[in-house]
Amino acid sequence: MDIETFQQLPTAEVARLARAAGPLVCGLPINGTRRWFALEYPEQAKLDDLSVYLEITGQRHIDIYRLLFDHGVDTLLTPVFGPDLLERGDDYLKLAEQGLAWFAQHPAFLDFYEAYDVRVRVYGDVARWLSGARYAPIRQAFDDIARRTAHHRRHRLFFGVCAHDSAETIAEIGVQFQRDHQRLPDKRAIVKAYYGEYVAPLNFFIGFDRPTLFDMPLIATGNEDLYFTVSPSLYLDAPALRSILYDHLYARRVSDDYAGFSSDDWQTLAAFYRVNRQHVLGVGRPLIDQHVWCPLSQVIWPDSP
């Protein structure tokens, strides 16, 4: 199947093809949210009203989750908060705090979890970084949403909170497991303890901005396919997602067996490498007076003019 045909398929058929090889696990840290909001809602952005910002961006988050689930993703992991945000000042911290409670308590999210049969969990070093009375309501909200959605079976949505460095938490899991079972845990047991239930390794990861994979301990194995959007995550739409799915399902499933190459095949490969010898994927350049990093287009096809 070519990509043009794939792009025109009914959504249900894309989902069927996506699930054919087994449940899909996707990592999607949603970044560039404030840029998206300022560009798409400039008048509302001028109001500097936190509730307006959360209402609009929160609904867009839900739209993205629906898009992925409708296209066959079974399990979605999305890091939403890291300890680096604690260093951005009290105003930003208030925004982050309300946002964390938002996905666990807001009616729009709760209705979405119910309608799409989504089981929700929060993973990461929450107790270590969000300790104390200030964060007690947030920790309680996390526990409440996990209990509220525990019976859901169709989809899973994991929110990452302070999941940047799992070393100490994993060590504690090992110690506790040894105490409880008088043996060391295997990887499956560690993953289950860390995420609250077993999560298979990532199939693919969709980032934005500078290419980097982060905040998905234990399930990022090096075998996942990596994709990075040029525009902020909240611009992700069906054609862009389908281009990713097509690449994941078909384009990357190529053989590394060169035994059958003809002389023309080797010449084609040599021409491609020759014109791209000094090109590097991931290289970028600052835009707008050094404020925004943007990737540079690198690949040249041998038959390009």
Is residue 153 in some structural domain? yes
Cα separation of 47 and 55, whole Å? 14
Question: Does residue 188 share a domain with residue 138?
Answer: yes
Please measure the distance between the N-terminal and C-terminal CA atoms of the chain and give it in whole angstroms.
27
Backbone angles phi, psi at 293, to 5 degrees: -85, 135
Is residue 70 in some structural domain? yes
Q: Where are the beta strands (DSSP E) in 91-134?
A: 118-123
Is residue 6 in some structural domain? no
Question: Does residue 287 share a domain with residue 169?
Answer: no
Q: What pLDDT, on the 0 to 100 scale, is given for residue 233?
A: 97
Task: Please state the domain count of the chain.
Answer: 2
Question: Does residue 204 share a domain with residue 166?
Answer: yes
Is residue 304 in some structural domain? no
Please, are residues 135 and 175 in contact by the beta-carbon 8 Å criterion?
no
Angle at 63 between CA 61 and CA 67, to 5 degrees: 115
b/e string for 229-263 if b means 16 or more Cβ within 10 A?
beebbbbbeeebbbebbbebbeeeeeeeeeeeeee
Cα separation of 113 and 88, whole Å? 31
Q: What pLDDT, on the 0 to 100 scale, is given for residue 305?
A: 47
Q: Tell whether pTM > 0.75.
A: yes
Question: Does residue 143 share a domain with residue 280?
Answer: no
Question: Does residue 98 share a domain with residue 180?
Answer: yes
Question: Does residue 169 share a domain with residue 149?
Answer: yes
Question: Does residue 158 share a domain with residue 100?
Answer: yes
Is residue 4 in some structural domain? no
Write out the residue range of the structural domain in which residue 34 sits: 14-251
The H or E element that residue 282 is part of is none
Question: Does residue 268 share a domain with residue 165?
Answer: no
Residue 51: other Cβ atoms inside 10 A: 10
Question: Does residue 196 share a domain with residue 81?
Answer: yes
Is residue 194 in some structural domain? yes
Question: Does residue 269 share a domain with residue 235?
Answer: no
Question: Does residue 151 share a domain with residue 119?
Answer: yes
pLDDT per residue rounded down to tens, the chain (305 residues): 899 999 999 999 999 999 998 899 999 999 999 999 999 999 999 998 888 999 999 999 999 999 999 999 999 999 998 877 666 667 667 777 788 889 999 999 999 999 999 999 999 999 888 888 888 999 999 999 999 999 999 999 999 999 988 999 999 999 999 999 999 999 999 999 999 999 999 999 999 988 999 999 999 999 999 999 999 999 999 999 999 999 999 998 887 778 889 999 899 899 999 999 999 999 999 888 778 888 998 898 877 54
Question: Does residue 275 share a domain with residue 184?
Answer: no
Is residue 141 in some structural domain? yes
Is residue 204 in some structural domain? yes
